[in-house]
Structure 1
Amino acid sequence: MKAAKFLIPIGVIAIVGVLSSVFIVDEREKALVLQFGQIKSVKEDPGLAFKIPFIQDVVRYDDRTLSLDTDVVEVTPSDDRRLVVDAFARYRISDVVQFRQAVGVGGLRAAEDRLEGILNPTIRAVLGSDGVTSNTILSADRAELMARITTQARQRALPLGLEVIDVRLKQTNLPDQNLDATFARMRAEREREAADEIARGEEAAQRVRALADRTVVELTSEATREADIVRGQADAERNAIFADAFGADPEFFEFYRSLTAYERALQGTNSTMVMSPDSEFFNYLRSDQGLRSEEGESR
């Protein structure tokens, strides 16, 4: 019984020791075995691994591709048109030993702070270099600029044990204080273009109206000319008829013209005319003229 009392604690301690000496390395991570803060071994292959219990510790690091969203960076291209750039990077821990020595116990948080301190100046340097304008950043040359940023950031991140895989520019905008001025300039340009279009439309409308007015005048003049010609021909024909009639019987023609004059002059029920009694206008109203006419007819 006394032996069993000693064997049970010893067995428990042995089991705890064995369990403490065994750990599992996942395929998505790498592990460092530390002894009093010093690196004793690196476990990169997945599976079971061993360490000295109670003396050695295991620190695990993610072996997958990680992403980092940087803070908004304000850059000034060579055309002095300031832009606000929002970028992100994809990276991985390539050397866990160098990574541990560089960031210490800070881990990924400290590493990302230092990586962001590399990315932001690199973005400013590349986008603010000679020959890079705001139009270049917003054009298809943007891919070449991102490749330059990735190459420079990769070189500067190697001492941290990090491999920068890619750096991308998510958004490129104007600063808030410049947006109102930019929108006002764009609005002024659109209003100017609209005014030009309106002016061109008014000019075209005036040309159409002038052409229509000229066509109306030409058509009216042509119609008036043709009407005058027709009227002149009719008057000439009428005068020819009157001349023929007058030549056939001048006295009858004179009598007919007098009757027409009477009809036009003595209209209505209250017509008054003040003329000399011996006026030729009344020749055919006098009885003696009528008698002479009758005598002429009898002869």
Structure 2
Amino acid sequence: MMRSGVILGIVLLVAVAAASSALFTVRQTDQVLITQFGQPIRIITEPGLHAKIPFIQTVISFDRRLLDYSTPGEEVILSDQRRLIVDSFTRFHITDPLQYFQAVGAQEDAIRARLNSVVTSALRRVLGNETLLAVLSADRGHIMGLIRDQVNKEMSGFGVAIEDVRIRRADLPEGNTQAILNRMKSERQRAASQARAEGAEASAKIRADAERDRTVLLADARATADKLRGQGEAAAIATSAAAFGRDPKFFTIWRTLQAYRDGLAGAQSRMIVSTDDDFFKMLREAPATPTP
């Protein structure tokens, strides 16, 4: 009786162990590959509680989330023969657990060594056709798209999809930094000198045009002033002639009085003339009153 109880207890323990080994949980962030004696038999992508044959089948979980991998700094020669130390990172996710298992095995880290060589090769190929200015400009997004497409094509047989490849840091080698900075400084100085020369030339042209316009305007103004002055003097002469013609005697008296005013107005004015001179005739005798 006691012996049968022990046997029953052993059977119960084996049953519990078998049941616990037969049931497993798939998380929402995982995808599972079931193998039997090392051979893959099925893939489970739905989360929840699932069953397998205990002690015979093995559960291998793969993360279905976006994974990151950073490559160490690599020296790349650009098309303009400049060198860059490039650090990059790659984002990928496992799309086919069976293909991934057949290519690199059950460990997720196994893919990283392959990614390192593929990403490095793609960086060298694509950046080798680009200049430093292109890598540092807004064209970098297009360049990284080309690198991503090449990496995705080469990694298509590993059950992974490459979502993005980005340059995290691009530095000049220590030995070339100062030389390149000096060259860039010389180029900027040359461009500044050229800009100053072009500015001075434009300034001189503007000043010359302004001086020419000024000369033309002044000449036109002088010509117009001389013309108006001549017209005024002609009008004054015509007016005087008309007035003289209307009353020559009055005009003579008026001009004589003006000469007296201009010649004798000053306190220090002195004139040495004969008293019989016609200039003082009106001072000696009043002019005759004209007959109406």
TM-score of the aligned structures, taking structure 1 as reference length: 0.64
Q: Is residue 96 from structure 1 mapped to residue 98 from structure 2 by the alignment?
A: no
Q: Is residue 29 from structure 1 mapped to residue 32 from structure 2 by the alignment?
A: yes
What runs of 5+ residues in structure 1 fail to find an aligned partner? 34-38
Q: Partners in 1 of 2:165 and 2:102 — Cα distance?
A: 31
**Change in 2 beyond 3 A, CA 1:245/1:18:** closer
**Change in 2 beyond 3 A, CA 1:63/1:172:** closer
What runs of 5+ residues in structure 2 fail to find an aligned partner? 45-49
Alpha-carbon deviations, 1:187-231, whole Å to 9, x = none? Answer: 769867975886587468547744752564255224313322312
Instruction: Judge conservation of contact 1:89–1:167 (CA < 8 Å) in 2.
Output: yes
Q: Partners in 1 of 2:63 and 2:33 — Cα distance?
A: 6
* Residue in 2 that maps onto 1:36: none
Instruction: Judge conservation of contact 1:32–1:40 (CA < 8 Å) in 2.
Output: yes
- Once the two structures are aligned, what percentage of the paired residues are identical? 13
Per residue, is there more helix in 1 or in 2? 1
Instruction: Judge conservation of contact 1:31–1:60 (CA < 8 Å) in 2.
Output: yes
**Change in 2 beyond 3 A, CA 1:186/1:10:** farther
**Change in 2 beyond 3 A, CA 1:4/1:188:** farther
* Structure 1 position 232, deviation (Å): 3.0
* Structure 1 position 237, deviation (Å): 0.9
Secondary structure of 1:61's aligned partner: strand
Q: Partners in 2 of 1:274 and 1:222 — Cα distance?
A: 41
* Residue in 2 that maps onto 1:273: 270
Secondary structure of 1:50's aligned partner: coil
Q: Partners in 2 of 1:169 and 1:194 — Cα distance?
A: 40
* Residue in 1 that maps onto 2:260: 262
**Change in 2 beyond 3 A, CA 1:44/1:279:** farther
Query: CA RMSD, aligned part only?
Result: 4.6
* Residue in 2 that maps onto 1:283: 280
* Residue in 2 that maps onto 1:86: 88
Q: Which amino acid aligns with 1:168?
A: D
* Structure 1 position 244, deviation (Å): 3.3
Q: 1:165 aligns with which of 161, 164, 172?
A: 161
* Structure 1 position 23, deviation (Å): 3.8
**Change in 2 beyond 3 A, CA 1:167/1:79:** farther
Instruction: Judge conservation of contact 1:25–1:44 (CA < 8 Å) in 2.
Output: no
Instruction: Judge conservation of contact 2:68–2:90 (CA < 8 Å) in 1.
Output: yes
Instruction: Judge conservation of contact 1:90–1:165 (CA < 8 Å) in 2.
Output: yes
TM-score of the aligned structures, taking structure 2 as reference length: 0.65
Q: Which amino acid aligns with 1:31?
A: I
* Structure 1 position 62, deviation (Å): 0.8
**Change in 2 beyond 3 A, CA 1:128/1:209:** closer
* Structure 1 position 243, deviation (Å): 5.7
**Change in 2 beyond 3 A, CA 1:256/1:98:** closer
* Residue in 1 that maps onto 2:52: 49
**Change in 2 beyond 3 A, CA 1:95/1:88:** closer
Q: Which residues in structure 2 correspond to 1:243-262 (within 5 Å)?
A: 244=245, 249=249, 255-262=253-260
Instruction: Judge conservation of contact 1:31–1:58 (CA < 8 Å) in 2.
Output: yes
Q: Which amino acid aligns with 2:165?
A: L
**Change in 2 beyond 3 A, CA 1:132/1:234:** closer
* Residue in 2 that maps onto 1:231: 232
